Amino acid sequence: MNRPRTSIHGEWSSRWAFVLAATGSAVGLGNIWKFPYIAGENGGGAFVLVYLACIVIVGVPIFIAEVLIGRRGRQSPINTMVTLSQEAGKSKHWRLLGWAGVIAGFLILSYYSVIAGWGLAYVFRSGIGLFSGASAEEVQTIFNEFLATPERLLAWHTIFMVMTMVVVARGVRSGLEKAVRYLMPCLFVLLVVLVGYAMNTAAFGQGFEFLFKPDFSKLSQDSVLIAMGHAFFTLSLGMGAIMIYGSYMPERASIAKTTFIIAGADTFVALMAGLAIFPLVFANNLEPGAGPGLMFVTLPLAFGQMPGGAFFGTLFFVLIVFAAWTSAISLIEPAVAWLVETRGMRRLTACVWAGMATWLLGVGTVLSFNLWSEVKLFGKTYFDLLDYLTANIMLPLGGLFIAVFAVWIMKEAHVREELAMINKTGYRAWRLLVRYVTPVAVLIVFLNAIGVLQHG
Ligand code: PFF
């Protein structure tokens, strides 16, 4: 047995550093920008309930599986899959799972960076008081005009990509860890302040009801797939981000305990964001299903009306950018680690190549909001298609195979070694979930979405 391996890329300085970094990866645009708008598009309460069920039944067990695989392999996801499948005496083709993850990471970061760029732009727009006293229509017009200028979106996308690659180039401890330590707690506090503000609007009850009162008639087959896809997206699961963070995790930290903290924090942030946004949507007669612009219209509107709004607005968008930043670095880390391990590149060189490729792909997303907005495949723009393909198909499939690998391919003794901290009952429950319940749940949602169940 060759455990313990060590990672050539370094290790987090403590269990707590792992929790912060993984929370940094999980908490991002997915929670504050995406969750509210997809909840709005899919009718609210029932969607939220399915999403929460997916976090518990599918997300948490797979999270544990992904961390344990990473910590045992201690390399980039591709090489970890090679090492662990050999250790188990199984086919080396499992490395394809690592590859699928790297590709998903590229694709996601390419559009993630564009949206994070909107956040960056809004830091400055709030800072100069552009939204002070603005009406709902004015805020909407400002947003529409912004989207209509590709060179602006491109400039902000470029800046965000450079920011991301600079942190990744600095490596595990000095780069990734420092960025998350102070910013995450700040974000939590500011979200609580925003919810406090929303509570004082007349429509808080309506917003609350929209989010938490399930109306299953509003739930389509597709909504269920989107809710499950989002559970993967928001926890950064199914593409190796959590695997590589697990590979930097100290030997003595408990995987299960840290997972509960991370999943709890992530869910908390998403629900708080929903509670901050929907009361404002209803108070201002905005459309809950407005799509990707939802946050960029409702929140500036709120900041424009509150005392000290320019300050709080700027701070809020700064924090959104940081949340996106700490997620972005985890999207590209698997690819960079692989280039360093296998191609023998310096970290910096690897970052330049990976960053440029991602940037280029992002240009498609930039254009899909303006020049290419009418170019559609399956009724979706380039951005919508990329988002749908990655979040709702690639991540759940990746997660499914990660689950299968942990409980059907790896030797149980090895798994048990990584999960030594959980008691027997906890371990049995996890194994049962990952062996049967999780894969079946993922498959049912898939089959349901492609209509096999109704027609077949
Ligand atoms: N979890 C991040 C968010 O919610 O914004 C997005 C993300 C990061 C997805 C890393 C996937 C990933 F591997």
| Sign, Cα dihedral of 366, 51, 276, 294 | positive
What backbone torsions phi and psi does residue 375 show, to the nearest 5 degrees?
-80, 115
- Cα of 110 from ligand 1 centre, angstroms: 12
Is 3 part of any domain?
A: no
CA of 331 to the centre of ligand 1 (A): 7
Q: For the chain, how many structural domains are there in total?
A: 1
Q: Is residue 40 part of a domain?
A: yes
7, part of any domain:
no
Does residue 4 lie in a domain region? no
374 vs 171, which has greater pLDDT?
374
- CATH code of the domain containing 223: 1.20.1740.10
Residues framing ligand 1 (Cβ under 6 A):
25-26, 28-31, 105, 108, 233-234, 236, 239, 241, 327, 330-331
Q: Which amino acid is at 127?
A: G
Span 318-335, mean pLDDT?
A: 92
Domain that holds residue 134: 15-449
pLDDT tens-place string over residues 243-257: 999 999 988 889 999
Residue 424 predicted with pLDDT over 80: yes
Query: SS3 for 402?
Result: helix
Mean pLDDT across 262-283: 95
| Residue whose CA is at the smallest distance from ligand 1 atom 9 | 236
| Residue 178 backbone dihedrals phi, psi, to 5 degrees | -65, -35
Residue 352 lies in a domain: yes
End-to-end CA distance of the chain: 47
DSSP assignment string, 269-334: HHHHHHHHHHHHHHHTT--TT--TTHHHHHHHHHHHHSTTHHHHHHHHHHHHHHHHHHHHHHHHHH
The pTM (predicted TM-score) of the whole model is: 0.95
Q: What is the pLDDT of residue 1?
A: 44
Tell me what pLDDT residue 456 has: 47
Give the pLDDT band (50/70/90) at residue 452: low
The model's pLDDT over 189-237, given as tens digits with 9 standing for 90+, comes to: 889 988 998 999 899 999 999 999 999 999 988 899 999 999 999 999 9
In degrees and rounded to multiples of 5, residue 215 shows phi and psi of -125, 100
- Grade residue 179 by pLDDT with cuts at 50, 70 and 90: low
Average pLDDT (338-357) is 94
In a domain, 5, yes or no: no
pLDDT mean over 90-98: 96
The reply to whether 392 falls in a domain is yes
Residue 134 within a domain: yes
Query: pLDDT band at 61, cuts 50/70/90?
Result: very high
Pocket-testing residue among 35, 76, 108, 113, ligand 1, by greatest number of atoms within 8 A of Cβ = 108
Residue nearest to atom 11 of ligand 1 (CA): 236
The alpha carbon of 11 and the centre of ligand 1 are apart by a number of angstroms equal to 21
Our mutation pick for probing the ligand 1 site, out of 25, 97, 184, 320, counting the most ligand atoms within 8 A of Cβ, is: 25
Residue 191, classed as helix, strand or coil, is helix
